Homo-oligomer: A and B are copies of this chain.
Amino acid sequence: MDNIQETLIAQGKKARQAARILSTVSTTLKNQALLNMADQLEADCQEILKANGLDLEMGGQQGLTAALLERLTLTESRIRDMALGLRDIAALPDPVGETIESSRRPNGLDISRVRTPIGVIGIIYESRPNVTADAAALCLKSGNAILLRGGEEALNSNRAIARIISAAAIETGIPDGAIQLVDSDDRQAAVLMMKMHEYLDVLIPRGGKGLKMAVLENAVVPVIMTGMGNCHVYVDESADLAKAGPIVMNAKVQRPSVCNAAETLLVHKGVATRFLPAIIAELQADGVQVRGCPATQQLVPGICRATEDDWAEEYLELILAVKVVASLDEAIDHINHYGTGHSEAIVSENYSSVRRFLNEVDAAAVYANASTRFTDGGVFGMGAEMGISTQKLHARGPMGLKELTTSKFVIQGDGQIR
C-alpha cells in the first residue's frame, strides 16, 4: 500500500512535468507520434496477443463469464482496429489553441477565450484493452498527460499495449510521462487515484455501480462520471408502429451489454393492445426476458411482474422491463425519476409530444424516432470517445477531443489599469 502510494505519486509528478511540455507541443509532432504508435501496435502484434493469452488463461481459471472473456479477447483484427483508431485521431483537428470567442472591450483590451489542455487526466476502466490505446491517443492529441488504470483481469494486455505506445510516443519526441499505466492489480490503486488532487486535474471512471459508489465515497479529484445507462424507449399513442418495432428491438437486442441499450419500454395505453403482444413475442423470440407492469401482464399472460427495483435497474443483458403509461406526462415523469440521464427515446408522429419530450426529458441524449444505440462519439462525429458522461458539469454525453480541453482568457493590452 505504501509502495503503491509512492509509485503513484512519482507517476503523478512525472505526468505533471510531461503535461507542461505537452501543452506546447505542435500538432504535427503529436500526429507523428500517433501514427508511430499505430505502426508499432501492428508491428508488435504478436507480443500483445501473447500477453492477452496470459490474461485469458487466468480469466478462464478465475471463472470470468463468457461475455467478460469476449470483451477481454484481442485478435489480430482487433489490434488492427486499435491502430486504425489512432490514425483516425491523428486525422482529427487539434482542439488546442482554438479561439472560442473574442471581443475588444471599451477600454481597448482584447479579450479572447482560448482552448487549452486540461493537464493530467486519470482514467479507471475495465475489461476491454483497446480503451488503453483509445484513451491514451485522445489525451495525447488534446495535449494532456494520462494515468491509465485498467482492470486487473487485463493487466498483461494493458501492460504490453501501454509499453508499446508509450515507447513509440517517446521515440517521436513526446515527453516521457505523457502516457503511463498504473501497473498494479491492487484495487487500492484506484482508490488512491481518487485522492490525488495535486497530480490529477480530472478522473474519468468508466464502469458500473460499484465504481460509482467508490467514487462518491472517496473522490477528492474532480470526477466525470460516465456510462450509467438506464435508458428508455417510449412508444407514444401516435407512434408509427412500423418504426416503433424495429427501434425497440434494436435498442434492446442489438448489443445489450452496452450503456446505450434500452432497459425499459414505456407504451402509451392507447397503443398497448395493438403494440405490446406483437413486440413482446418478437423480443421473447430473440431471447429477451420481459418483466411487465400489471397492465402488461394482463395483455400478455405468462410474463413475470416488474418490481420497483426493475424500473431502476440497468440490466445490461437480455431483460426488458415494460410499463403501460396513461400519458406523455407519466412517461416523462417516469424517465426523469428512474433514468440515469443517458439516452432516452420517443417514438411518435405527434409534433407537440415530440417537442415536449425532447425539451422536458433531462438526459445527455434525447431521441425522436431513432434508437438509443446511436449515443456514441464515433456516430456523433467526434472520431472516438473517452466515455459517455452522464453528469451535467463540463461534458455531457460522448466525450471527444474538445471535452478533454478547458479554456483560458487571454487579455492583451497596452498599459490598461482599473
Contacts and interface: CB of A to CB of B under 8 A. Distances in A.
Contacts of A391: 222
A254 B103 CA distance: 25
Contact of A247 (B254, B393, B415): B415
A396 B406 contact: yes
Contacts of A365: 408-411
A222 B390 CA distance: 13
A385 interface: no
A24 B373 CA distance: 27
Given A109-B370, A391-B222, A407 B396 contact: yes
A193 to B, nearest CB: 16
Nearest to A360: B24
A179 to B, nearest CB: 20
Contact of A246 (B247, B364, B417): B417
A187 interface: no
Given A367-B411, A371-B417, 4 more contacts: A20-B336, A24-B359, A116-B362, A392-B406
A189 to B, nearest CB: 21
Q: Which of A220, A247, A251, A379 has the most CB of B within 10 A?
A: A379
B103 A381 contact: yes
Interface string A314-337: 000000000000000000000010
A49 to B, nearest CB: 29
Contacts of A119: 362, 392
Contacts of A358: 410, 412
B415 A369 contact: yes
A119 to B, nearest CB: 7
Contacts of A380: 105, 111, 409
A366 interface: yes
A364 B381 CA distance: 29
Contacts of A254: 417-418
List 5 tightest A-B contacts by C-beta distance, closest first.
A370-B413, A250-B417, A243-B415, A394-B394, A392-B406
A47 interface: no
A408 B396 contact: yes
A65 interface: no
A249 B242 CA distance: 73
A254 B418 CA distance: 8
A190 interface: no
B105 A381 contact: yes
Given A118-B392, A118-B393, A119-B362, A250 B409 contact: no
Interface string A183-199: 00000000000000100
Interface residues of A, number: 66
A197 B216 contact: yes
Given A222-B222, A224-B393, A368 B118 contact: no
Contacts of A202: 392-393
B364 A408 contact: yes
Interface string A214-225: 001000101110
Contacts of A105: 379-381
A158 interface: no
A73 B389 CA distance: 44
Contacts of A397: 407-409
A28 interface: no
Contacts of A360: 20, 23-24
Contacts of A369: 412-416
A57 interface: no
A116 B394 CA distance: 13
Nearest to A409: B365
**Max chain B C-beta neighbours (<10 A), residue from A220, A242, A363, A412:** A412
A351 to B, nearest CB: 12
Contact of A367 (B224, B373, B413): B413
A375 interface: yes
A275 interface: no
